[in-house]
């Protein structure tokens, strides 16, 4: 899967390419990091999002805030379940990646505001 470039991920308000992609992003915004009270999309944990509208296939590259995160084994399934519940999605694959390492700079402005960092 092709990963997002940093500008695409850094701007979650970027117009979506399709209605299905928009619904998938909304589903991702409903999944919260277990340690930080911000959704995984605005937190910048989603590094890549490929949506095939015709086949209803979604592939996600994502990371966690720390490699030693206690939910590393179960969290991808949580994300898959959330996206699989989206109308029009027939297949979801979540790949956990560690490069580049997550950093605060990956968070959206909305996430920074929510955490009082602006």
Instruction: Mark out the alpha helices in 12-90 (DSSP H runs).
Output: 19-28, 75-84
Q: What is the largest CA-CA distance in the chain?
A: 40
Domain that holds residue 105: 6-114
What is the reported pLDDT for 72?
Answer: 87
Both structure tokens of 68 = 């030693």
pLDDT of 30 higher than 70? yes
pTM: 0.82
- Inside any domain, residue 43: yes
* CATH assignment at residue 15: 3.30.300.130
By three-state DSSP, how is residue 9 classified? Answer: helix
Percent of the chain predicted with pLDDT > 70? 86
- Evaluate whether residue 110 is within a structural domain: yes
Q: Would 1 be classed as within a structural domain?
A: no
Tell me the per-residue pLDDT of 53-110, one tens digit each, with 9 for 90 and over.
999 999 999 999 988 888 888 999 999 999 999 999 999 999 999 999 999 999 999 9
For residue 100, whether the previous peptide bond is cis, meaning omega lies within 30 degrees of 0, is: yes
Q: What is the mean pLDDT of residues 42-58?
A: 96
Q: Give Cα separations from 74 to 9, 13, 67 (angstroms).
A: 23, 28, 13
Mean residue pLDDT of the chain comes to 86
Axis-axis angle for helices 75-84, 19-28 (nearest 10): 140
Residue 6's pLDDT band, with cuts at 50, 70 and 90, is very low
Tell me, yes or no, whether 42 lies in a domain. yes
Q: How many domains does the chain have?
A: 1
């Amino acid at each position: 899967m092709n990963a997002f470039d940093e500008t695409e991920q850094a701007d979650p308000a970027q117009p979506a390419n399709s209605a299905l992609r928009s619904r998938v992003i909304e589903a991702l915004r409903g999944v919260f990091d277990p340690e930080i009270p911000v959704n995984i999309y605005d937190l910048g944990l989603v590094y890549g999002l490929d949506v095939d509208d015709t086949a209803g296939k979604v592939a996600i590259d994502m990371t966690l805030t720390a490699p030693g995160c206690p939910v590393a084994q179960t969290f991808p399934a949580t994300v898959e379940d959330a996206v699989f519940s989206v109308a029009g999605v027939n297949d979801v694959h979540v790949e956990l990646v560690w490069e580049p390492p997550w950093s605060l700079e990956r968070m959206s402005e909305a996430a920074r505001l929510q955490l009082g960092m602006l």
